[in-house]
Amino acid sequence: MHDTQRRSLLKAAAAFGLVGGLGATTPFFAAAAAKIKPAANSALIVVDVQNCFIDGGTLPVKGGAEVVPVINKLAGAFENIVVTQDWHTAGHASFASTHSGKKPFESTKLSYGTQVLWPDHCVQGTEDAALNKDLKLPTAQLIIRKGHHKDMDSYSAFEEADHKTVTGLGGYLKARGIKTVFVTGLATDFCVAWTAMDARKAGFEVYVIEDATRAIDLNGSLAAAWKQMAAKGVKRIQSSDIV
C-alpha cells in the first residue's frame, strides 16, 4: 500500500473513532478458556467475504483470502449460518466518484453524519461483489445484502449507517430462536466490529472468531476495535475453541 493511501485510510479510520490514544499496553479481553460447542440456538455470521475485499478486488483487505478455509471448516459446527454481502448501487453515496472533487478515503457529511468515501466497490451484480468462489457454505440459510440503499451506507449486518434503519437480521435471528452469534469475515476493525457490537445491542451473546477475520489495522484501528467490542461485551475466541 502506498504511503498516500495509508495516510488516507488512517483518516478514514479516525473518522470511525478507531485510532488514537492506544499504546502497546492496551488491555484486550481474555479469550474464553473452555471449548465451545455451538448449540441449535447459535448462528455463524460470515461478513463480506467477497471478491472486492480480497487481493485483486477493488478494496482488498490484506490476507483476506486466508479466512476462507477457516470459515469453511467452522461451518460444519453450525446448524445456522448467515452470510452478508456489501451490495452497492452504481453511483452509491459512499463512493468518492459520486462526489465532485473528492478522493477515495476522504470523508464528507451526509444526512446521517460523517461518511468515509471509498473506491467504487461491490457494485450489485458484478463479479467484484460476488462471494469468493472458494467459500463453501452449502447449509447457509440467509444472505443479507447491505449498503443497497443508494443514499446510505451500511457497515453492520444489523443496522445501516444512520443507526436507525434495521436490515431485518435481528428479527430473523430472534424468530429462529437464535441466542448466540459467532462473527467472522472482513474486515475485523470495520464491518465485523460493527456487526458484533450491533448484535450485542440487539441482545445476542456474541463471539468474534479472531483467526476467521482479517483487519485493515492502521495505527491502532484494530486494537481500538477490540477495545470497543470488549466494552460492549463481545467475546474474542479462536477457531480452535470451537468443537
Per the annotation, the verdict on 48 as an active-site residue is: yes
Distances in Å between the Cα of 231 and the Cα atoms of 24, 184, 217, 226 are 18, 19, 19, 9
Catalytic hit among 191, 198, 217, 235: 191
Contact 225, 18 (CB under 8 A): yes
What distances in angstroms separate CA 186 from CA 84, 110, 130, one per listed residue? 10, 24, 14
Q: Which alpha helices (H) appear in 134-211, and where do they start and end?
A: 169-175, 193-201
**241 classed as catalytic:** no
Q: Are 94 and 117 in contact, with CB atoms under 8 Å apart?
A: yes
Residue 235 β-bridge partners: 207
Which one from 48, 128, 153, 241 is the annotated catalytic residue?
48
The most distant pair of C-alpha atoms in the chain lies apart, rounded to whole Å, by: 53
Q: What is the DSSP letter of 40?
A: T
**Nearest residue to 137 (alpha-carbon basis) of 71, 93, 198, 200:** 71
Catalytic site residue from 146, 153, 198, 241: 146
C-alpha cell at 182: 459467532
Query: CA-CA distance, 130 to 51, in Å (whole number)?
Result: 6
Catalytic, 35? Answer no
Active site residues: 48, 146, 191
